[in-house]
């Protein structure tokens, strides 16, 4: 279950990378780099911070194959890209939901404090997209107005609230990831942002 979440997150982020790169009219190799960096960026920083090296995509080839496959498919079906483009936001959101849970789990395995696990989940979820946006010269998604990293933190909090309950582990994963996705969807739908500290 855990492995599947990791792979689904990789696919979602790879596709979101392809979409941003094609928006920028990059060449095929540039698209592949952006897809790869978006998909593995957050997990790589996570693994480096906790000292789990070689980082996971280097020792488990499934990530490379999944990213190559997603990229080729996205490029081949690029005539449908305008349809997909409206889905960029959705793929990115699914990605952060799944990666938040993966990051929290990895932090727990490393014996870290719950607050640090939530930070690690948020880093895993957000860093790939931040790198993607910096390389594509977009404003990093994390610094735009709508709630983004806050959704990951909320998902991480829910994870620790419900894991002591008599629920199966798989459901803890699914519920926490879903919280991230739902909070983000609602925040964007209703343009909810954090309150401002500054007088207008």
The smaller minimum CB distance to a second copy, of residues 115 and 167, is found at: 115
Q: Looking at residues 102 to 121 of the shown chain, list those that interact with a second copy (rule: CB under 8 A).
A: 110, 112-113, 115-116, 119-120
Q: Looking at residues 141 to 200 of the shown chain, list those that interact with a second copy (rule: CB under 8 A).
A: 142-143, 145, 149-150, 193-198
Nearest to 148 by CA among 125, 167, 164, 170: 125
Residue pair 87/11 in contact by the 8 Å Cβ criterion: no
Q: Tell the smallest beta-carbon distance from residue 174 to a second copy (Å).
A: 25
DSSP state of 117: H
The smaller minimum CB distance to a second copy, of residues 78 and 174, is found at: 78
113 dihedral zone (left: phi>0; alpha: psi -120 to 50; beta): beta
The smaller minimum CB distance to a second copy, of residues 22 and 96, is found at: 22
The rounded distance, in Å, linking the Cα atoms of 189 and 91 is: 15
Q: Tell the smallest beta-carbon distance from residue 61 to a second copy (Å).
A: 6
Residue selected from 4, 59, 69, 85 as contacting a second copy according to rule CB under 8 A: 59
85 binds a second copy (CB under 8 A): no
DSSP state of 79: G
Residue selected from 7, 72, 73, 75 as contacting a second copy according to rule CB under 8 A: 75
The CA dihedral of 134, 136, 138, 142, to the nearest 10 degrees, is -40
The rounded distance, in Å, linking the Cα atoms of 177 and 98 is: 5
Point out which residues bind a second copy (CB under 8 A).
22, 25-31, 33, 44, 48-51, 53-55, 57-59, 61, 64, 75, 78, 110, 112-113, 115-116, 119-120, 135, 142-143, 145, 149-150, 193-198
């Amino acid at each position: 279950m855990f492995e599947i979440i990791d792979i689904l997150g990789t696919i979602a982020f790879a596709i979101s990378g392809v979409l941003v790169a094609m928006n920028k009219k990059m060449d095929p190799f540039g698209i592949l780099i952006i897809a790869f960096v978006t998909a593995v960026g957050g997990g790589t920083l996570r693994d480096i911070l906790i000292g789990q090296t070689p980082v996971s995509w280097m020792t488990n080839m499934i990530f490379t194959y999944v990213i190559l496959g997603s990229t080729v498919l996205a490029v081949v079906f690029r005539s449908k890209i305008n349809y997909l483009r409206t889905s960029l936001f959705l793929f990115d959101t699914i990605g952060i939901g799944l990666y938040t849970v993966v990051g929290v789990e990895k932090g727990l395995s490393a014996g870290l404090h719950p607050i640090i696990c939530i930070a690690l989940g948020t880093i895993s979820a957000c860093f790939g997209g931040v790198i993607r946006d910096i390389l594509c010269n977009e404003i990093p998604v994390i610094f735009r107005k709508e709630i983004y990293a806050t959704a990951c933190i909320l998902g991480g909090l829910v994870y620790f609230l419900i894991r002591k309950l008599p629920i199966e582990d798989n459901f803890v994963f699914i519920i926490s990831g879903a919280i991230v996705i739902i909070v983000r969807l609602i925040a964007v739908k209703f343009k909810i942002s954090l309150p401002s500290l500054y007088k207008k």
